[in-house]
Amino acid sequence: MPGPPTGDARRIAGAVLAFVLAWIVARSSARIGAWIVNRQERRLQGDDSTSVIAGLKRRETALSLAQTTIRYLAFLAATLVLLSQLSGGTFTTVAGASVLVLLVGFAGQRFLTDILTGIFMVFEGWYAVGDTVVIEPWGVSGVVEEFSLRSTRLRALSGDVVNIHNSQVLSARRIPRGSREVQIEVYVNDETAGRALFEDIVRLVPVGPTNFVQPPWIRSVDVIDTGLVRISAGGFVPPGREWLAGDLIHSLLHERGDGLLVHGPVVTEVDAAATARFQRATSLSRATGSRAG
């Protein structure tokens, strides 16, 4: 009959059991978090108010951070158990454990850098799960799917999933509404025909979450001079799809507006908050300049 397990066998079994338990904890944290988020999404379906969406983003971010932190702690505990088991063995085992500690120490430098960067990013509120961001210096854009203390996972418009270490994020440009607001200006020689042309173009452009978020609309029509009318329109496009408001609108207008167009279209990115702040800044500059004069 086989004898009782030796000390080495017990230590190996203990280390294996620790990693099995860590794996179970990691899997459970992901499933529980996904279940909570899915339940919240079903409960809030149809309610797109800003406060509700912001609250859901905060919950998803907290769950993402909690899940990944639990995974790290579980496997860190399993690694400590492994090291403690190895350190209690023979000289060869202790030597192997020392080499393992050195390897973990070298790898841990990058890990700790990512963790510290992630902590500062969470504290300063760089972005949250569900935000649309552009990560620099890589120029990668997409929606934040997962945000942990170590890394950020993005899903691009193409469907590609991109994982970035937090220490590699030099800056992050957050798109507040998840889409870019653009202003389209075109100059025509007839107001009525210009309106009809733009309305015809609006029927042709693609509309949807990854195209024009909503059909472009005419903001204003200004008669500048005889035979010169400026039509200003607005629209929203996702980051990375700015060509829809530029190249596509340009091609359609020139194909269908032959003899009507005088100049354009001219496409610029705008933002209401940025416009208000720049207006306040320029007003302050003018006031300062007038006092100095």
Tens digits of residue pLDDT in 175-212: 877 788 888 999 999 888 889 988 888 888 989 888 88
Residue 279: band (very low, low, confident or very high) from pLDDT cuts 50, 70, 90: low
Q: What's the order of all strands across the beta sheet hosting 151-155? A: 161-165, 151-155, 140-147, 132-136, 171-175
Rounded to a whole number of angstroms, the CA Rg of the chain reads: 29
What are residue 93's phi and psi, to 5 degrees?
A: -65, -40
- State CA 111 to chain mean position distance: 22
Q: What angle do CA 104, 106, 112 make, to 5 degrees?
A: 85
Q: What is the pTM of this model?
A: 0.54
Task: Return the CATH fold of 7-124.
Answer: Helix Hairpins (1.10.287)
| Cα within 13 Å of Cα(19), Cβ side | 9
pLDDT > 70: what percent of the chain?
55
DSSP 207: B
Question: Which class would CATH give 180-275?
Answer: alpha beta
Q: What kind and span of H or E run contains 20?
A: helix 7-43
Question: Domain 132-175 - what CATH class?
Answer: mainly beta
Which spans in the chain are helix H?
Answer: 7-43, 50-87, 91-124, 191-204, 247-256, 272-292
Question: Where are the domains positioned within the chain?
Answer: 7-124, 132-175, 180-275
Whole-angstrom Cα distance, residue 205 to residue 202? Answer: 6
Asked if 75 and 22 touch (Cβ cutoff 8 Å), the reply is: yes
State pLDDT tens for residues 79-122.
666 666 665 554 445 445 555 555 666 666 777 888 888 888 88
pLDDT digits (tens, 9 = 90+) for 208-236: 888 888 889 999 999 888 889 999 998 88
Half-sphere CA count of 111, side-chain side, radius 13 A: 9
Rounded to 5 degrees, φ, ψ at 44 are -95, 5
- C-alpha–C-alpha distance, residues 51 and 49, integer Å: 6
Give strand pairing partners of 132. Answer: 143, 175
Summarised one tens digit per residue, pLDDT across range 23-55 is: 666 666 666 655 655 665 565 555 555 555 555
pLDDT at 230: 92
What confidence tier does 62 reach under pLDDT thresholds 50, 70, 90? low
Report the C-alpha gap between 159 and 171 in whole angstroms: 22
